[in-house]
């Protein structure tokens, strides 16, 4: 029992509780197409081939693909999905317009369908002035089954069982995508996708039966958005970053303050707090880890990678290893994005002695609201000269307390005294 108590005591002071932060970050594709900027998307071979290419072009042109509304809980409102990575985008390719593609196809006598092989793709790509051409095949299979079954229907204000006609539409769609480098005609990427879909309706609901065409299109949308476009282009994903709480008495209050600032979207203040902790305790692995998290969220991938590595060098931890591996992959992809002209603007944290001191300083809140005015005096007495009058309800930096008077500092550097009766 004594050993268990000592173990728990050790964990409470060194191991950590965490606060999950959710935000959208740019996730690399499965296959990074090095040196590929401009592409043409051909109609896939087979029925619905034009549908696949239209879906693919539309998805590749989306600037914020993957960012959605974040659903709240049972009694909370939905939140707008957003990213803090300035300049991040998912439309990294320039796509040849359909009219230009069809014009060249006609001139090259390749037929109205635009169905070509790898050799033709290379020569066509040079005419179009693209780096790569996407081609593929689509093979839908459908089946309709008619049965007669006992079903429930609503008649005369009640549900009854009757024998009724039922129809089931089933589809299976296999699609394959290939990316051809026009410089040498080589296949630089392939992706295969298979989906099945079905719908069954009986009796009075037969008119609501989904058509074979609709079922096939749903499968093709799934192939494009879940498989093909994620294979070659980045997407935004909702990532849960584990911001860890420092369970060391000396820094516990500052850790809480940093997490509060972070949750309020004030990354600069959170960063400054952790920077102040690291100045006093440079071997605080948790502070290094949290600084890495903040950097990764705002798109400072190299700084994040360095800080994750620093945390791992101090203490071996599975969370640190996973975070470092993920950040290394993202950092490598970010360097490839730069070659395509997509620049994620680094966020600059301004760190100075004065700012760290101000950020970590204790704060006091004044009474009243914005319409009220509270007097700061030059000396701790009611007859003291007036330094300035500030709005009620704001927070001021606390310098020191002397009896019933508090020495404070305003945001613009003015120093004065406030009586305790003016505090909230």
User: Nearest CA to 191 among 208, 179, 181, 205?
Assistant: 179
What is the mean pLDDT of the segment spanning 140-169? 90
What is the mean pLDDT of the segment spanning 200-205? 90
pLDDT band at 387 (very low <50, low <70, confident <90, very high): confident
- On the question of pLDDT at 10 being above 90, the answer is no
Query: What SS3 class is residue 214?
Result: helix
CA atoms within 13 A on the CB side of 10: 6
User: Nearest CA to 345 among 334, 353, 330, 355?
Assistant: 334
Strands of the sheet with 132-155, listed across from one edge = 94-95, 38-41, 132-155, 158-181, 187-202
The pLDDT tens digits for 29-73 are 888 888 899 999 999 999 899 999 999 999 999 999 999 877 766
Contacts of 389 (CB under 8 A, 6+ apart): 373, 374, 375, 376
CB 139 within 8 A of CB 180: no
pLDDT band at 352 (very low <50, low <70, confident <90, very high): low
How many whole angstroms separate alpha carbon 367 and alpha carbon 35?
61
Most confident of 53-62, 78-87, 340-349: 53-62
Q: Give the pTM.
A: 0.71
pLDDT given for residue 102 in this prediction: 81
What is the mean pLDDT of the segment spanning 76-86? 78
Query: What SS3 class is residue 362?
Result: coil
Query: What SS3 class is residue 264?
Result: coil
pLDDT given for residue 14 in this prediction: 42
CB 410 within 8 A of CB 366: no
pLDDT given for residue 15 in this prediction: 42
- On the question of pLDDT at 121 being above 90, the answer is no
pLDDT band at 6 (very low <50, low <70, confident <90, very high): very low
Q: Which of 87-101, 105-119, 190-204 has the lowest mean pLDDT?
A: 105-119
- On the question of pLDDT at 287 being above 70, the answer is yes
246-360: CATH architecture: Alpha Horseshoe (1.25)
Q: Are strands 363-365 and 38-41 parallel, antiparallel or unpaired?
A: unpaired
pLDDT band at 202 (very low <50, low <70, confident <90, very high): very high
Report the share of the chain in percent with pLDDT over 70: 89
- On the question of pLDDT at 272 being above 80, the answer is yes
Report the share of the chain in percent with pLDDT over 90: 38
The residue ranges of every structural domain in the chain are 26-236, 246-360, 361-422
CB 130 within 8 A of CB 169: no
pLDDT given for residue 390 in this prediction: 82
CATH superfamily name and code, 361-422: SH3 Domains (2.30.30.40)
- On the question of pLDDT at 113 being above 60, the answer is no
pLDDT given for residue 256 in this prediction: 86
CB environment 214-223: b (16+ within 10 A), e (fewer)? ebbbbbbebb
CATH superfamily name and code, 26-236: ABC-type transport auxiliary lipoprotein component (3.40.50.10610)
């Amino acid at each position: 029992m004594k050993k268990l108590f000592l173990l728990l005591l050790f964990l409470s002071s060194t191991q950590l509780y965490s606060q999950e932060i959710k935000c959208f970050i740019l996730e690399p594709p499965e296959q990074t197409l090095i040196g590929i900027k401009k592409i043409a998307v051909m109609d896939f071979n087979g029925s619905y081939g034009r549908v696949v290419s239209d879906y693919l072009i539309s998805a590749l042109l989306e600037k914020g693909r993957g960012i959605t509304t974040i659903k709240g809980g049972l009694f909370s409102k939905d939140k707008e999905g957003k990213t803090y990575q300035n300049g991040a985008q998912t439309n990294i390719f320039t796509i040849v317009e359909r009219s230009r593609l069809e014009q060249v196809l006609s001139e090259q006598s390749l037929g109205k369908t635009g169905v070509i092989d790898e050799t033709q793709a290379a020569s066509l790509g040079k005419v179009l002035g693209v780096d790569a051409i996407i081609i593929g095949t689509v093979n839908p299979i459908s089946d309709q089954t008619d049965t007669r079954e006992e079903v429930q229907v609503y008649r005369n204000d009640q549900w009854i069982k009757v024998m009724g006609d039922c129809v089931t539409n089933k589809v299976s769609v296999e699609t394959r995508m290939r990316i051809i480098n026009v410089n040498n005609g080589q296949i630089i990427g392939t992706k295969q996708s298979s989906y099945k879909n079905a719908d069954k309706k009986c009796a009075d609901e037969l008119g609501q039966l989904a058509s074979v065409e609709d079922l096939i299109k749903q499968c093709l949308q799934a192939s494009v958005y879940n498989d093909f476009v994620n294979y070659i282009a980045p997407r935004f994903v909702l990532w849960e970053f584990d911001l860890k709480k420092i369970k060391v008495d000396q820094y516990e209050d500052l850790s809480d303050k940093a997490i509060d600032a972070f949750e309020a979207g004030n990354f600069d203040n959170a960063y400054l707090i952790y920077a102040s902790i690291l100045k006093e305790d440079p071997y605080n692995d948790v502070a290094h880890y949290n600084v890495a998290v903040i950097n990764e969220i705002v798109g400072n991938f190299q700084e994040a990678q360095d800080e994750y590595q620093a945390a791992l060098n101090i203490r071996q931890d599975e969370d640190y290893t996973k975070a470092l591996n993920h950040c290394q992959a993202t950092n490598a992809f970010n360097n490839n994005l730069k070659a395509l002209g997509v620049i994620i603007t680094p966020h600059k944290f301004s760190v100075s002695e004065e700012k760290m001191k101000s950020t970590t300083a204790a704060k006091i809140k004044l009474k009243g609201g914005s319409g009220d005015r509270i007097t700061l005096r030059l000396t701790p007495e009611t007859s003291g000269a007036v330094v300035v009058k500030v709005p009620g309800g704001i927070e001021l930096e606390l310098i020191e307390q002397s009896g019933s008077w508090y020495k404070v500092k305003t945001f613009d550097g003015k120093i004065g005294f406030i009586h305790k009766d003016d505090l909230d």
